[in-house]
Every structure is written in structure tokens, then in C-alpha cells.
Amino acid sequence: MNTPTKQQRWLSWLYLALAVAGGVLPWLANLDFMREYGSSFDLTQFIALANANPAAQSLSRDLIVGASAITIWMVVESKRLQMKHLWIVLLSAVTIAFAFAAPFFLFLRERRLAELESQQA
């Protein structure tokens, strides 16, 4: 039985660290937004501010197009690799942050690839 290589383990943990950062950093900004604009998360106000100037529009549009493409790939890739629990990744994209969901998916994918590789040995 093959064990994951040092590079595979390192890459897997790097993705997990990025997922943690991708969950924490956006939510720190979300908490600042809620403190500044009211105690609840006003989605209408958030979207308005995300489009308040050309720089914000650029980042918002970049995120929506990139996140859409990567989400499609995650669905296709998870089916190809017969990964379980994709729903957790997709739900976390809208409840935590896409910056969490994408690296978390990559973490799960690396683990699945290692599992498939060990089954072939």
C-alpha cells in the first residue's frame, strides 16, 4: 500500500491552511461591515458597496466569474473522482466564503487522490 508522498502531504496541509485563512479573513471583514452598517448582514447594502466604485466592481466581477468556473470544475471533478460530501463544500461557499470552499475542496481532492493511489498499489 502506497502512502502519500511528502509533497502530497505538504500540499494537502497547505490547502487546508489556505482554507482556514479563507474562512477567517473574509469573516473578519464581514464582522467589520456588520459593526459599521448595522448588527445584521444586509445583503443589499453589501452588494451596493461591492459595486460602489470601479475597483470594487472589478474585484466583485472577478470573484463571480472565477468562482463560477471553479464551482463547475469542483462539481465535475468530484464526480470524476467519486468524492463524497461535495454538498459541504458548496454550502460553505455561500455560508463561510468561497475563499474557504475552494482550498477546502483542493484539500479534500488531494486526500482522495492519495486514497485512490493507495488502492492501486
Average pLDDT over residues 85-105: 97
Pick the more confident residue, 1 or 80.
80
Q: What is the pTM of this model?
A: 0.89
Per-residue pLDDT reduced to its tens digit, 67-79: 999 999 999 999 9
For residue 40, the model assigns a pLDDT of 84
Cα-Cα-Cα-Cα dihedral of 106, 108, 114, 117, to 10°?
-90
57, three cell numbers: 466592481
CA 89 to chain centre: 7
Sequential DSSP letters for 69-115: HHHHHHHHHHHHTT-S-HHHHHHHHHHT-HHHHHHHHHHHHHHHHHH
